[in-house]
Structure 1
Amino acid sequence: MTTETAVPGTGVLAAALFDMDGTLFDSEPLWDVSLADFAERLGGTLSAEIRRRVVGSNLRDTARIVQEDLGVAADVEESAAWLLERTRQLFALGVPWRPGAQEVVRSVRGRGIPTALVTSSHRVLVDEVLAQLDPGMFDTVVCGDEVARPKPDPESYLTAAERLGVDPRDCVALEDSRPGIAAALAAGCLVVAVPEDGAALAGGHGAVVAPLETVTVDRLISLLADRIG
């Protein structure tokens, strides 16, 4: 794929980097089910507060946080493996796009701008989603279990930019959670936050907050140029 040659940091959009769960795909309701099942398996009930707290977290931290909240001393690795398989089963039934998400990805690709899927989810979950999409929709995919330090560490975003051969300062990242926003900002990306509940990210935490339906490729280009200008 070709794109306009850019000098790093000059405001030319070199790549668009997309989070998966809750950003492009409406998978959070499926996580609601698997997490509730996980809590029930541990003999408790998942609270709304803990559900909000684990959004954007990696799988191991999610299992640990739920166990600690329920006061259960179970093996975290075994719990994470159970939660992963339960979620995979749900993903295999189909994961819908969020409204406007497919149009954003297609419009970016239509302008010759490279794309990456950058997610905290494990590869087995990502593969279930990718199997439901047109081949080649993303030029590279970085999964949570393929980096040493998942979000909120910037490694996943830095890895995506490196694979695409671009400077992260010339990338726009679309995210929906605080860990994801922190990761992309630390990598140097311009971050556009598109949470379903915009009030959940009041102040933006360093990101531009916008409804996903209002995001266009021209707006992404303009936002990046404005940051440099």
Structure 2
Amino acid sequence: MTTNTAAPGAGPLEAVLFDMDGTLFDSEPLWDVSLAGLAEMLGGTLSSETRRRVVGGNLRDTARIIQGDLGVEADVEESAAWLLERTRQMFALGVPWRPTAEAVVESVRRSGIPTALVTSSHRTLVDEVLTQLDPGMFDTVVCGDEVTCPKPHPEAYLTATGRLGVDPRNCVALEDSPPGIAAALGAGCLVVAVPEDGEALADGHGAVVVPLETVTVDRLISFLAARTG
């Protein structure tokens, strides 16, 4: 049985906070479809560089980046709304877990450690995912359209830890993108990055970078202890 303690002088692991897209769920291929569709609707083609730039971003910034890279002047709100609905349609068909991700969340819950889902995605997309999961898998959920300042601002993570009543300095956040890492670090969390492409985060951006399949509760506790012990 896992003991939720850290090194002498360090606080216990009070909560584990999970990003959604690309961290727990293999939803990026679904975003590929909707993002390419938006570019096509705007009269262009989504480049691989533009696709890389919008990972982890919010809808308005994503629409703005795509329009700018295509050299198109269009209504950002309309583009964002189109992207949201197309992505919702894709999510409704089913969003698969990344390998071992479900087991990681379940192991945290079995250890009695609170969990939160902290995502840049809008509530309409998150609800499509939550309907596919067992009820109560996350103690709280913070969505991108439920905060004033989305990632990379720390508001979403501070909102989650506030709801849980925990100290963000005693929490671990699992992320996969620079905006998400910046948000969690800004909130004071220890960040463990679990990108599908480890080379994409070669320098870690301030996070500990490990393969998702190696994440265990004991390892998360040890990471926190190493930082604060």
- State the shift of 1:5 in Å: 9.6
Q: CA deviation at 1:4?
A: 6.4
Unaligned runs of 5+ in 1: none
Code of the aligned partner of 1:145: D
Query: Aligned equivalents of 2:81 and 2:11: distance in 1?
Result: 42
- The corresponding residue for 1:133 is 133
- The aligned residue for residue 33 of structure 1 is 33
Structure 2: runs of 5+ lacking an equivalent: none
Give the letter for the 1:123 counterpart.
R
Q: How many matched pairs?
A: 225
Q: Distance in 2 between matches of 1:107 and 1:39?
A: 40
Q: Is the 8 A contact 2:175 2:194 kept in 1?
A: yes
Bigger mean CA offset, 9-18 vs 205-214: 9-18
Look up the match of 1:227: 227
SS in 1 for 2:116: strand
Which runs of structure 2 are paired with 1:65-214 in the superposition (5 Å)? 65-214=65-214
State the secondary structure of the residue aligned to 1:117.
strand
Query: For 2:169, what is the secondary structure of its paired residue?
Result: helix
Question: Which runs of 4 or more aligned residues in structure 1 lie more than 4 Å from their structure 2 counterparts after TM superposition?
Answer: 3-6
Q: Is this contact kept in 2: 1:11–1:227, CA < 8 A? A: no
The percentage of aligned residue pairs carrying the same residue is 83
The whole-number CA distance in structure 1 between the counterparts of 2:60 and 2:80 is 6
Shift of 1:200: 0.3
User: Are 1:161 and 1:167, in contact at CA under 8 Å, matched by a contact in 2?
Assistant: yes
2: CA distance, partners of 1:226 / 1:179: 24
Corresponding position: 1:22 with 2:22: yes
Give the 3-state SS of the residue equivalent to 1:120 in structure 2. Answer: coil
Distance (whole Å) between structure 1 residues aligned to residue 171 and residue 59 of structure 2 = 26
TM-score, normalised relative to structure 2: 0.96
CA distance, structure 1, for counterparts of residue 218 and residue 175 of structure 2: 18
Deviation sequence 1:95-122 (CA, Å, 0-9, x none):
0000110010000000000000000000
Q: Residue 55 in 1 paired to residue 62 in 2?
A: no
**TM-score, structure 1 normalization:** 0.96
